[in-house]
């Protein structure tokens, strides 16, 4: 299992799998599968996948601790960057296909429509995280500060879920499911912290170095 996880091929495979939603969307586009309102369909599909990849990213740390598979960390950056990638597609669809680059209109939307405001916030917060996702930036910022910065993804996740919730007319089941998953993932972090705290004093030498991989 470990060998499989650290194999370069596994990572390449995961990369391709992360591209599948886009491939599927393109395939639908070529086969008249985007419904009578393709712009809406693309907007919803890219939005869904942004949120899903944010959740996948947030799953990495709990999974790697619960399964005792530290190697899983190798996939976190990629998942996070794919969240940003689908977020870019989602944002581009909105600003181009929905608003036709009418920036005044976009700004009015962001200021006036709470669900747009939150979606915009969720997306904007991902930008610095994507930029500072490299090893060089981790070094430059220092593990602790880097980690603090990257906690912004928690806000993105929550804002993303509310953005979805405020958008639907009555079918709240799906946004609430995403919300429940976010709550579980964030709650786990809080609890995990309080469980590990008493030991923290004793285990201080071991604590100092793996810090940065803990968002």
Partner 1 sequence: MRDGLRLATVATVAGREFWELASPSSHALAGTKLGGVSKSPFSTTEKQNTYDDVTHYNNYYEFGVDKTEPAKNAQTLKTYPWTVAIEGEVNKPRQITIDEILKLAPLEERIYRHRCVEAWSIVVPWIGYSFSALAKLVEPTEQAKYVAFETFYDRKQMPQAMYAGIDFPYVEGLRLDEAMNPLTLLCVGMYGETLPNQDGAPVRMVIPWKYGFKSAKSLVKIRFQKEQPPATWNRLAPDEYGFYANVNPTVDHPRWSQAKERRLGEFFKRETLMFNGYSDQVASLYTGMDLKKYH
Which residues contribute to the site for partner 1 (CB under 8 A)? 30-32, 35-40, 96-97, 100-101, 109, 113-115, 166-167, 169-173
Taking the complex as a whole, how short is the minimal distance between the CB of residue 51 and partner 1, in angstroms?
17
Tokens representing 2? 């470990």
Taking the complex as a whole, how short is the minimal distance between the CB of residue 170 and partner 1, in angstroms?
4
* Residues in Cβ contact with 211 at an 8 Å cutoff, skipping those fewer than 6 apart: 143, 144, 147
CB 134: neighbour CB atoms within 10 A? Answer: 11
1 or 173: whose CB is closer to partner 1? 173
The answer to whether the CB of 40 falls within 8 A of the CB of 94 is no
40 or 71: whose CB is closer to partner 1? 40
Tokens representing 70? 């530290």
Taking the complex as a whole, how short is the minimal distance between the CB of residue 102 and partner 1, in angstroms?
9
Pick from 76, 51, 46: nearest CA to 61:
76
The answer to whether the CB of 105 falls within 8 A of the CB of 99 is yes
DSSP of 140-178, one letter per residue?
Answer: HH-HHHHHHHHTHHHHHHHHHHHHHHTT-SS--HHHHHH
8-state DSSP, 95: I
Taking the complex as a whole, how short is the minimal distance between the CB of residue 56 and partner 1, in angstroms?
23
Taking the complex as a whole, how short is the minimal distance between the CB of residue 101 and partner 1, in angstroms?
5
Taking the complex as a whole, how short is the minimal distance between the CB of residue 106 and partner 1, in angstroms?
12
**CA distances for 167 relative to 24, 43, 176, 213, angstroms:** 24, 12, 12, 34
d(CA 42, CA 29): 9
């Amino acid at each position: 299992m470990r060998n499989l996880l650290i194999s370069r091929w596994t990572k390449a495979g995961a990369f391709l799998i992360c591209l599948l939603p886009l491939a599927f969307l393109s395939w639908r586009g070529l086969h008249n599968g985007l419904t009578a309102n393709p712009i809406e369909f693309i907007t919803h599909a890219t939005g869904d996948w942004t949120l899903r990849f944010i959740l996948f990213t947030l799953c990495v740390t709990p999974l790697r601790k619960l399964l005792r598979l530290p190697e899983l960390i190798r996939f976190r950056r990629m998942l996070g960057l794919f969240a940003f990638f689908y977020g870019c597609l989602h944002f581009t669809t909105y600003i181009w296909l929905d608003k036709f680059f009418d920036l005044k209109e976009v700004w009015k939307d962001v200021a006036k429509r709470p669900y747009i405001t939150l979606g915009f916030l969720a997306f904007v917060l991902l930008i610095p995280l994507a930029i500072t996702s490299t090893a060089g930036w981790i070094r430059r910022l220092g593990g602790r500060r880097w980690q603090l910065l990257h906690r912004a993804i928690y806000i993105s996740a929550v804002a993303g879920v509310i953005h979805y919730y405020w958008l639907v007319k009555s079918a709240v089941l799906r946004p609430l499911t995403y919300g429940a998953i976010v709550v579980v993932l964030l709650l786990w972090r809080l609890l995990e912290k309080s469980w590990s705290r008493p030991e923290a004093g004793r285990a201080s030498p071991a604590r100092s170095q793996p810090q940065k991989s803990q968002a």
